[in-house]
């Protein structure tokens, strides 16, 4: 399965916790779109024969819903002119609630978008303002309802727990409200205070105290319990889906499938190497336009060692409900779990942290997935 990712590096305003690559200056959005269309043309042969069809297209960011209809159309035209997109492809657009209108939805549907990932984070007005989100609580609710009214039911919403001024009652209400919207997919992340953000600065000067880890863990436990009771599968540490409604694009990352990333800061994986595009809009535009064939100007290459491949596969696969395929690990990545590692895994099984079929599968339980990174480190060669 092949996936295509487009990073749209613009946002209306900077959320206080965010350290993704984006700019709030849209003056060069047209040039950026043209450069991305050019990169798509340059990468035409990435997936091999033209007959290789792309199963997922994901526009993330940043805020893809900020682009105009014409800008999005230019990107989709470039995609369809250079790649074979499967007729059943999952085509996701990340959208913020304040950008979702009937007209915008209609244009996205016309372009082939069939799935939305809506950045709600919380339905609490005070918490939204504290995080400097651009939308309000009413827009958060209405965004989902408008999308459903327009005929898009394949919707994921992002929620965030561990917000410093939030509390258990607010989080309970966020979960209840999310469930009431009837969306098939929910992603939930803990707010982390990153150094180069406003919250990072506030923490440094004593204006913000990160939420107690135990309280954040309780909020996560509540989420897992409530969503499972409501029929959602907890299929990855931070992701929940009604049966069959997994995010195919992200699931392919976790299954070690190749993907091509287009745009500033986007990453690419071809099975052997990782490529990282420069995380700077101006450098990206000039690199693509001035010296398109010299790819080192606008992206860097990292060839993964055998051990790094094994580590990446274990780190990502063990976060999912499908776990690590030990046959793939042995045949494709050359790593066989030795007797001492097997003994350790049997200890995890006895402690309720893992399920294990010798030589075939290692799957972490819910309790084990909470410790996924820690346990994975113990498996590394
Ligand atoms: S809208 Fe998303 S990408 Fe943009 S600043 Fe906020 S969290 Fe970051």
Q: Give per-residue pLDDT as tens, 210-234.
A: 999 999 999 999 999 999 999 999 9
| pLDDT, one tens digit for every residue, the chain (381 residues) | 789 999 999 999 999 999 999 999 999 999 999 999 999 999 998 988 766 789 999 999 999 999 999 999 999 999 999 999 999 999 999 999 999 999 999 999 999 999 999 999 999 999 999 999 999 999 999 999 999 999 999 999 999 999 999 899 999 999 999 999 999 999 999 999 999 999 999 999 999 999 999 999 999 999 999 999 999 999 999 999 999 999 999 999 998 899 999 999 999 999 889 999 999 999 999 999 877 676 677 889 989 999 999 999 999 999 999 999 999 999 999 999 889 999 999 999 999 999 999 889 999 998 899 899 999 999 987
The number of the ligand 1 atom at minimal distance from the alpha carbon of 132 is 6
Substitution site in 21, 60, 61, 99 for ligand 1 pocket (most atoms within 8 Å of beta carbon)? 61
Indicate which residue's Cα is closest to atom 3 of ligand 1.
Answer: 62
The number of the ligand 1 atom at minimal distance from the alpha carbon of 133 is 6
> What is residue 114's predicted lDDT score, i.e. its pLDDT?
98
Spell out the domains of the chain, with CATH numbers in brackets: 2-254 (3.20.20.70), 306-379 (1.10.10.920)
CA of 136 to the centre of ligand 1 (A): 15
CA of 330 to the centre of ligand 1 (A): 39
CA of 53 to the centre of ligand 1 (A): 31
Full 3-state SS string of the chain:
CEEEEEEECECCCCCCCCCCCCECCCCCHHHHHHHHHHHHHHCCCCCCCCCCEEEEEEEEECCHHHCCHHHHHHHHHHHHHHCEEEEEEEEEEEECHHHCCHHHHHHHHHCCCCEEEEEEECCCHHHHHHCCCCCCHHHHHHHHHHHHHCCCCCEEEEEEECCCCCCHHHHHHHHHHHHHCCCCEEEEEECCCCCCCHHHHHHHCCCCCCCCHHHHHHHHHHHHHHHHHCCCEEEECCEEECCCCCCHHHHHHHCCCCEEEECCCCEEECCCEEEEECCCHHHHHHHHHHCCCCHHHCEEEEECCHHHHHHHHHHHHCCECCCEEHHHHHHCCCCCCCHHHHHHHHHHHHCCCEEEECCCEEEECHHHHCCHHHHHHHHCC
The number of the ligand 1 atom at minimal distance from the alpha carbon of 17 is 7
Substitution site in 10, 22, 60, 97 for ligand 1 pocket (most atoms within 8 Å of beta carbon)? 22
Taking only the tens place, the pLDDT of each residue in 100-147 is 999 999 999 999 999 999 999 999 999 999 999 999 999 999 999 999
Indicate which residue's Cα is closest to atom 6 of ligand 1.
Answer: 15
- pTM summary value: 0.95
């Amino acid at each position: 399965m092949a996936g295509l990712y487009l990073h749209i590096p613009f946002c209306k305003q900077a959320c206080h916790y965010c350290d993704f690559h984006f700019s709030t200056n849209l003056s060069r959005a047209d040039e950026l779109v043209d450069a991305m269309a050019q990169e798509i043309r340059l990468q035409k042969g990435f997936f091999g024969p033209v007959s290789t069809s792309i199963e997922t297209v994901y526009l993330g960011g940043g805020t893809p819903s900020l682009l105009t209809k014409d800008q999005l159309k230019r990107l989709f035209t470039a995609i369809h002119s250079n790649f074979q997109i499967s007729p059943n492809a999952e085509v996701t657009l990340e959208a913020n609630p304040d950008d979702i209108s009937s007209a915008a939805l209609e244009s996205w549907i016309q372009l082939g978008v069939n799935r939305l990932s809506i950045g709600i984070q919380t339905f609490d007005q005070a918490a939204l303002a504290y995080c400097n989100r651009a939308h309000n609580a009413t827009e958060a609710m209405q965004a989902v309802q408008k999308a459903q009214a327009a005929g898009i039911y394949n919707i994921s919403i992002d929620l965030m727990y561990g917000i410093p001024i939030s509390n258990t009652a607010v989080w309970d209400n966020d979960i209840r409200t999310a469930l009431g919207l009837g969306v098939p997919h929910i992603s939930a992340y803990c707010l982390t205070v990153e150094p180069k953000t406003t919250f990072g600065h506030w923490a440094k000067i004593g204006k913000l105290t990160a939420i107690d880890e135990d309280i954040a863990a309780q909020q996560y436990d509540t989420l897992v319990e409530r969503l499972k009771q409501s029929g959602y599968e907890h299929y990855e540490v931070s992701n929940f889906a009604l049966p069959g409604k997994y995010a195919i694009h992200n699931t392919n990352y976790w299954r070690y499938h190749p993907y091509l990333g287009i745009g500033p800061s986007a990453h690419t994986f071809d099975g052997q190497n990782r490529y990282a595009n420069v995380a700077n809009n101006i450098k990206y535009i000039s690199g693509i336009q001035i010296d398109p064939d010299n790819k080192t100007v606008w992206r860097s290459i990292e060839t993964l060692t055998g051990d790094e491949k094994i580590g990446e596969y274990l780190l990502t696969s063990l976060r999912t409900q499908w776990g690590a395929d030990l046959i793939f690990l042995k045949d494709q990545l050359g790593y066989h779990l030795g007797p001492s590692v097997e003994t350790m895994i049997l200890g995890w099984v006895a402690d309720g942290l893992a399920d294990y079929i010798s030589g075939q599968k290692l799957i972490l339980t819910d309790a084990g997935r909470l410790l996924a990174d820690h346990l994975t480190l113990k498996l590394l060669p």
